């Protein structure tokens, strides 16, 4: 069963992601972007899902940090799905190095499809 790491401080968003993906994926959570890199080494997820607004280190900054650490060889490669607040945030997503993004509110089918497209085929 694939491991997912979700970074969000919004309980409703965690509930939505767990409802959409929890039956076929293990969903782990951190509440701050600053905790993502440590959680990546502990959880070893197959997919990282970042909320755009996460406390004092948002999804864009977290995505950029994770991708930088991956390029430096300090973190294993993991695809990143960024959850946007509105359509206008697509510009931010393009700058974030995220592999894909969705606009909230989440559609369960679209979330499952996006997750499955990003997950490695061996999972």
The pTM (predicted TM-score) of the whole model is 0.94
pLDDT score, position 17: 96
Average pLDDT, the chain: 93
Inter-residue contact 21 to 111 (CB < 8 Å):
yes
| Predicted local confidence at residue 23, as pLDDT | 86
Peptide bond into 105 cis (omega under 30): yes
The predicted structure's pLDDT at residue 34: 93
pLDDT value of residue 56: 81
Buried b (16+ CB within 10 A) or exposed e, 79-104: bbbbbbeeeebeebbeebbbbebbbb
What are the residue boundaries of the structural domains of the chain, listed by start?
Answer: 3-118
Confidence of residue 123 (pLDDT cuts 50, 70, 90): very low
pLDDT in tens, 6-63: 999 999 999 999 999 988 899 999 999 999 999 999 999 999 999 999 988 899 999 9
Closest CA to 79 of 121, 42, 108: 121
pLDDT tens digits, 88-122: 999 999 999 999 999 999 999 999 999 999 997 74
Q: How confident is the model at residue 84 (pLDDT cuts 50, 70, 90)?
A: very high
The CATH architecture annotation of domain 3-118 reads 3-Layer(aba) Sandwich (3.40)
Output the pLDDT for position 13: 96
């Amino acid at each position: 069963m694939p491991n997912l790491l979700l970074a969000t401080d919004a309980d409703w968003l965690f509930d939505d992601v767990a409802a959409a993906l929890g039956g076929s994926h293990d969903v782990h959570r951190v509440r701050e972007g600053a905790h993502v890199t440590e959680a990546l080494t502990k959880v070893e997820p197959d997919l990282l899902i970042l909320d755009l607004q996460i406390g004092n280190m948002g999804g864009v900054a977290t995505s950029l940090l994770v991708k930088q650490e991956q390029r430096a060889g300090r973190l294993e490669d993991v695809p990143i799905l960024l959850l946007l607040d509105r359509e206008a945030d697509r510009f931010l997503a393009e700058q974030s190095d995220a592999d894909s993004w969705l606009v909230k509110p989440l559609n369960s089918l679209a979330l499952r499809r996006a997750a499955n497209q990003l997950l490695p085929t061996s999972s």
